[in-house]
Every structure is written in structure tokens, then in C-alpha cells.
């Protein structure tokens, strides 16, 4: 069963000489329980595409159909509610409220959707327990590790039982161990909870859990991503990355090093 259908979606930023075609005529379906990975170089249109799927950005043309409703056609005032209930977002930078504890961040998402604070609290605690944060859920985001903050943000994304979970570089700020844990969580979210998961990432390892990988370049999507021509190893975590779209790089004495994440680059800098 298709949970999501996007048809001929286009996004043009600006107009005239300076117009940027960020997403150009993209169509695909996503089934229930499917994990779709979207890979592509920086600036290829990944975040723009994900934002349109999530109703955060309106396409210039085309349709985004979620559970039978074309969200590009619904009244603007209905969109926040659809977004809240149908879609869970996970971002690279976690986007947590810094003055709320982990459990309060998750609880708040439930309250926004109309749950009583008692119900929302119980549910938030249950989800965080499942994500093995029972001991740390009362801490503020600043007191949590990157991996723990990302688990809080995944819990928040699951709070209103969305059919679709969207993740933009969810492992980009994590070390390789936490990145692996987060990846396995997405796997469970799709295969046990039967949600559809769309992940945008440079992380080659996510291919291992993805049912399908799409490649995007200059706003255009193709089925078969080109085989990585130049796999190199991140010198810190040892992960294989495609040198063409490694998120971080550094040149030392004429030699170029590529990194899977900011965390690895920083560790490298401290050496
Ligand atoms: N609000 C905006 N106004 C104008 N141009 C934009 C805007 N947002 C994105 N763009 C442009 O659209 C193109 C696609 O951007 P997008 O952020 O989707 O890329 P991306 O694939 O997510 O890149 P990265 O891997 O670096 O995150 C880029 O050329 C970008 O400069
Ligand atoms: Mg992006």
C-alpha cells in the first residue's frame, strides 16, 4: 500500500536570471513500512524535497499525496494539523527546546496534538523507555550526548503515531557508534511499527537498512545511484564514505581527508 505518492514535484526558488531549480520534476511512491534512502551531493535538492514532502515548503508545481490527501491543495490552516499527525521529523541538529528536559520535549509534541498533559507525559515516558533513555530523560538537551539527543528527537517524531518519518542527515552529527544505534532505530520504526521512513543522508551504511536508494543530482532523481567511484575511509571512525559527497573534509600538507560527520572532523582536529 502506498502511503506517499509524489507526482511531478518541482521547486524553483527566485525568478528570472537568479532562479534556482532546486527540485525538478520528481515522482515516486513510498509503501507502508518501506525505508527509502535519498543520496546526492550537497546542494542537489535533498532538504528541499524532504521539506515539501513534510508540508514545510509548498512546491512550485506537482502533488504530494499522503494517505489519499494532496497536501499541496489543502487549505493553509489545515496543514499544521496534518503535519503534526501524519509526519514525524528528525533533523541533523536535533532541534530540541533547550529549556525543556528530554521528556518534556517529547511530551510537548503530544500536547500540541491535543493530548492531556498526563496522557502525553505517560506516552512520552513509554517511548523514551523503549529507546533506552529511562535514566536520562529528565536531563536538559545540553546535558545529553549527541546520540541521546537524537533519540529524544526520534521519540518526539513518534509521539503522534505518524505514518511517515522524515529524517534529514540524522547521523550527520553523531559518532559512528551512536550513528549505528540511530540507524537500527529507524529500521525498527519501519519494520516493527510499519511506518514509512525517508532518510536523506551521505552515510553509506544506511544503504544496509534501506529497501531502496534514490539518487538526486541537480534536483533530478534517478533510480540507480551511480556506484561510488571513490570510496575512502574516514580516518577517525573508519567508515567508508563516498569522497564526492562526504559532508566534511580537510587538507593537511596537500593530502585531503574526508569525514562522515562534524564529530569525526573535530576529533581529527584534536589529534
Ligand atoms: N530558501 C532558498 N532560497 C533560495 N535558494 C535555495 C533555498 N533553499 C535552498 N536553495 C537552493 O536550492 C538548492 C538545493 O538546496 P538543498 O538545501 O535542498 O540541498 P541539499 O541537497 O539538502 O544540500 P546539503 O547536502 O548541503 O544539505 C541549492 O542550490 C540551494 O542553494
Ligand atoms: Mg540539506
Instruction: Give the model confidence (pLDDT) of 16-43 as tens digits.
Output: 999 999 999 999 999 999 999 999 888 8
Residues 110 and 201 in one domain: yes
Question: Which set of grid coordinates corresponds to residue 61?
Answer: 508545481
Residue 195 confidence (pLDDT): 96
Residues 217 and 237 in one domain: no
Residues 254 and 241 in one domain: yes
Q: What average pLDDT does range 156-170 have in this prediction?
A: 95
Q: pLDDT digits over 70-121, tens only?
A: 999 999 899 999 999 999 999 988 999 999 999 999 999 999 999 999 999 9
The whole-angstrom separation of Cα 27 and Cα 39 is: 15
Residues 152 and 215 in one domain: yes
Which numbered atom of ligand 1 lies nearest the CA of 216?
21
Residues 168 and 121 in one domain: yes
21 CA from centroid of ligand 1 (Å): 9
Residues 251 and 205 in one domain: no
Pick the ligand that lies closest to the CA of residue 41: 1
The whole-angstrom separation of Cα 243 and Cα 265 is: 14
182 CA from centroid of ligand 1 (Å): 25
3-class DSSP assignment, residue 177: helix
Q: Which CATH number does the domain housing residue 37 bear? A: 3.40.50.300
* Structural domain harbouring 266: 227-271
pTM of the model: 0.84
Number of domains in the chain: 2
20 CA from centroid of ligand 1 (Å): 9
Q: pLDDT digits over 47-63, tens only?
A: 999 999 999 999 999 99
Inter-residue contact 222 to 214 (CB < 8 Å): yes
What mean pLDDT value characterizes the chain?
92
Which residues have C-beta atoms less than 6 Å from ligand 1?
A: 13-14, 20, 22, 40, 42-48
Nearest Cα residue to 247 out of 35, 95, 92:
92
HEC secondary structure over the chain: CEEEEEEEEEEEECCHHHCEEEEEEEEEEEECCCEEEEECCCCCCHHHHHHHHCCCCCCCEEEEEECCEECCCCCHHHHHHHHHHHEEEEECCCCCCCCCCHHHHHHHHHHHCCCCHHHHHHHHHHHHHHCCCCCCCCCCHHHCCHHHHHHHHHHHHHCCCCCEEEEECCCCCCCHHHHHHHHHHHHHHHHCCCCEEEEECCCHHHHHCCCEEEEEECCEEECCCCCCCCEEECCCCCCEEECCCCCEEEEECCEEEEECCHHHHHHHHHC
Residue 244 confidence (pLDDT): 74
Residues 210 and 101 in one domain: yes
The whole-angstrom separation of Cα 252 and Cα 255 is: 5
- Of 10, 11, 17, 20, the one to substitute when testing ligand 1's pocket (max ligand atoms within 8 A of C-beta) is 20
pLDDT for residue 194 is more than 80: yes
Inter-residue contact 239 to 176 (CB < 8 Å): yes
47 CA from centroid of ligand 1 (Å): 7
Q: What average pLDDT does range 133-137 have in this prediction?
A: 95
Pick the ligand that lies closest to the CA of residue 91: 2
124 CA from centroid of ligand 1 (Å): 33
Pick the ligand that lies closest to the CA of residue 18: 1
The whole-angstrom separation of Cα 243 and Cα 239 is: 12
Question: Which set of grid coordinates corresponds to residue 160?
Answer: 503522534
Residues 156 and 232 in one domain: no
pLDDT for residue 224 is more than 80: no
Amino acid at each position: 500500500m502506498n502511503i506517499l505518492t509524489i507526482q511531478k514535484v518541482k521547486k524553483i526558488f527566485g525568478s528570472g536570471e537568479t532562479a534556482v531549480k532546486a527540485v525538478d520534476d520528481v515522482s515516486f511512491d513510498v509503501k507502508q513500512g518501506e525505508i527509502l534512502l535519498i543520496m546526492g551531493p550537497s546542494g542537489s535538492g535533498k532538504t528541499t524535497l524532504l521539506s515539501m514532502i513534510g508540508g514545510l515548503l509548498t512546491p512550485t508545481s506537482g502533488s504530494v499525496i499522503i494517505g489519499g490527501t494532496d497536501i499541496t491543495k489543502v487549505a493553509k490552516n489545515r496543514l499544521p494539523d496534518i503535519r503534526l499527525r501524519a509526519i514525524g521529523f528528525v533533523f541533523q541538529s536535533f532541534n530540541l527546546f533547550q529549556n525543556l528536559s528530554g521528556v518534556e520535549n517529547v511530551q510537548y509534541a503530544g500536547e500540541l496534538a491535543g493530548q492531556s498533559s498526563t496522557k502525553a507525559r505517560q506516552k512520552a515516558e513509554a517511548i523514551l523507555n523503549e529507546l533506552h533513555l529511562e535514566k536520562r530523560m529528565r536531563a536538559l538537551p545540553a546535558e545529553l550526548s549527541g546520540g541521546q539527543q537524537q533519540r529524544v528527537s526520534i521519540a518526539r517524531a513518534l509521539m503522534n503515531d505518524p505514518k511517515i518519518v522524515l529524517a534529514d542527515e540524522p547521523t550527520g552529527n553523531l559518532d559512528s557508534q551512536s550513528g549505528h544505534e540511530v540507524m537500527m532505530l529507524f529500521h525498527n520504526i519501519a519494520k516493527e511499527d510499519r511506518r514509512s521512513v525517508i532518510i536523506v543522508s551521505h552515510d553509506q551504511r544506511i544503504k544496509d537498512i534501506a529497501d531502496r536508494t534514490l539518487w538526486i543530482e541537480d534536483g533530478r532523481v534517478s533510480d540507480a545511484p551511480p556506484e561510488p567511484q571513490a570510496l575512502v575511509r574516514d580516518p577517525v571512525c573508519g567508515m567508508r564514505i563516498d569522497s564526492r559527497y562526504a559532508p566534511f573534509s580537510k587538507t593537511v600538507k596537500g593530502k585531503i581527508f574526508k569525514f562522515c560527520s562534524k564529530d569525526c572532523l573535530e576529533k581529527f582536529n584534536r589529534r
